[in-house]
Amino acid sequence: MEQKRIAAIVGSLRENSYNRQLALAAKEIVGERAIFDIIDYSEVPMMNQDIEYPAPEAVCLVREQIKTADGLWIFTPEYNHSYPGVLKNLIDWLSRPISKEERQVLSRKPIAISGASPGMGGTLIAQDLLVMLLSMLNANVMNSPRLAISNIAQQADEAGHLALSTSLPYLQKQADAFLKFIG
Ligand code: FNR
């Protein structure tokens, strides 16, 4: 049987992002069980309908990575009790049909959601809003388990490197569940 493919999106462009480190930890946990690619969408421009068709090369590349993936795993920070604008911009691009013949790539796509924040809320509000957005786009969100890590700095050293002590078993559980979910 062909190996499953997971595409991951990190909703932070910050180099030392906790959420990027969480995605890297998930990649390690998934290991040989699936191909796990963290998508680079840094070149995706701001949505502008004047440049929508034909779509910019950077948008085409991300769409192709998601289209060919069996599942998408989103790692999101919370900004002002919502998901970051860079993530919304990317999802706006992904929400549009590729062409008259081909529908948008998030439709029926299995999606897992995780997030980490230094605050108490652990990105839960952002995640709930993201679920609302993704359900409107007909995505197949795995609602349980989701992973929301609060006080993330307590699981990092002074340089901000994650050790993921307490949250590791929960990330492992979510990875196991998502691999099952994408079947
Ligand atoms: C934040 N942060 C934040 N945290 C939170 O728990 N709830 C929030 O509403 C917000 N709001 C917010 C707005 C903006 C504009 C910024 C830049 C930050 C703090 C945020 O969780 C923290 O910076 C994380 O470290 C961001 O995630 P990464 O980049 O580490 O993955």
**For the chain, how many structural domains are there in total?**
1
Q: Which domain holds residue 41?
A: 4-181
User: Could you read off the pLDDT of 142-167 as tens digits, one per residue?
Assistant: 999 999 999 999 999 999 999 999 99
The residue type at 78:
E
Contacts for 119 with CB less than 8 Å, ≥ 6 apart: 78, 150, 151
Q: Is the CB of 78 within 6 Å of ligand 1?
A: yes
Atom of ligand 1 at shortest range from CA of 150: 6
Q: What is the mean pLDDT of residues 90-102?
A: 94
User: Could you read off the pLDDT of 105-125 as tens digits, one per residue?
Assistant: 999 999 999 999 999 999 999
Q: Is the CB of 115 within 6 Å of ligand 1?
A: no
Q: What is the CATH number of the domain that holds 101?
A: 3.40.50.360
For ligand 1, atom 18, name the residue with the nearest CA.
79
Q: Give the separation between CA 76 and CA 123, rounded to whole angstroms.
A: 7
